[in-house]
Amino acid sequence: QVQLVESGGGLVQAGGSLSLSCVVSERTSSRYAMGWFRQAPGKEREFVAAIIWSSGGTYYADSVKGRFTISRDNAKNTVYLQMNSLKPEDTAVYYCATRQWFLTPASVPDPSTYNQWGQGTQVTVSS
């Protein structure tokens, strides 16, 4: 069973930055895609960013484009989410997720297409 462990969440003021990490318990090159999602209280889980492991291709939600950057380190089996210019509306629990098999570009933002999930890390942005 693949395990994903997120870290790096915390409390930050608006305009600040945080960097999240997600360590995968197995060789990440066997994964097709890694994604970051978030869920705020009372809201559905939403797509934030994803990376296709083999090509390095990236996808972003419009709400974070230009502020967040997803990246990977194959040697460390780790995916990162660098979050800059944070806003109070970015407050949520952030989850990383992985999918082993091919995803069409249209399916990348759909959380139901990811197979394994981490436990989440809280990000709180104060105004």
pLDDT band at 28, cuts 50/70/90?
Answer: low
- Evaluate if residue 54 carries a pLDDT over 90: no
Mapping DSSP to helix (H, G, I), strand (E, B) and coil, where does residue 88 land?
A: helix
pLDDT band at 103, cuts 50/70/90?
Answer: confident
- For the chain, the helix, strand and coil percentages under 3-state DSSP, each to the nearest 5: 10, 45, 40
Write out the two tokens for 48: 């934030």
Candidates 112, 121, 120, 118; CA nearest to 1 is: 118
Instruction: Average the pLDDT over 36-63 and give the result.
Output: 96
pLDDT, tens digit, 9 for 90 and up, residues 67-94 = 999 999 988 999 999 999 999 999 999 9
Output the pLDDT for position 74. Answer: 87
CB half-sphere exposure, 117, CA atoms < 13 A? 14
Output the pLDDT for position 39. Answer: 98
**Alpha-carbon distance values, 70 to 22, 57, 59, 81, 87 (Å):** 11, 10, 9, 5, 18
Candidates 81, 117, 120; CA nearest to 3 is: 117
Instruction: Average the pLDDT over 55-75 and give the result.
Output: 95
Question: What does the alpha-carbon distance between residue 86 and residue 17 come to, in Å, rounded to a whole number?
Answer: 6
Output the pLDDT for position 96. Answer: 97
Output the pLDDT for position 29. Answer: 66
75 contact partners, CB below 8 Å, separation of at least 6: none
